[in-house]
Structure 1
Amino acid sequence: MAVENGTYIKLNYTGTINGVAFDTTDAEAAKNANIFRENFEYTPAIVKVGAGRLLKGLDEELAGKEIGQEYTITLPAEKAFGEHKAEEMKAVDKKAFDHKPELFERLTVEGREGVVVQKIGNRYIVDFNHPLAGQEVVYTFTIIEEVTDAAECLAGTIKLITGRDMKVGTKHENFVSVEVPTMIAMYNQNWFMTQYLIMQEALELFPNAESVKFVESFPRPKAVEEPAAEEKTE
Structure 2
Amino acid sequence: MSKATLTISSKNYSSWSLRGWLLCRMAGLDVTEEPVDMTEASARQELLLLTPSVLVPRLTHGDVAVWDTLAIAEYLHETFPKAGLYPADVAARALCRAVSGEMHSGFYNLRSALPMNLRARHDSFRIFSGARPDVERVKAIWHDCLDRFGGPFLFGARPSVADAMYAPVCTRFRTYAVPLDPALQAYADTILTWPPMLDWTKAALAEPEEIVELEVEF
What is the TM-score when the length of structure 2 is the normalising length?
0.28
**Greater fraction strand:** 1
Which has the larger Rg? 1
Instruction: Name the structure, 1 or 2, with higher relative contact order (CA <8 Å, separation 6+).
Output: 2
Which structure dedicates a bigger proportion of its chain to helix?
2
Q: How high is the TM-score relative to the length of structure 1?
A: 0.26
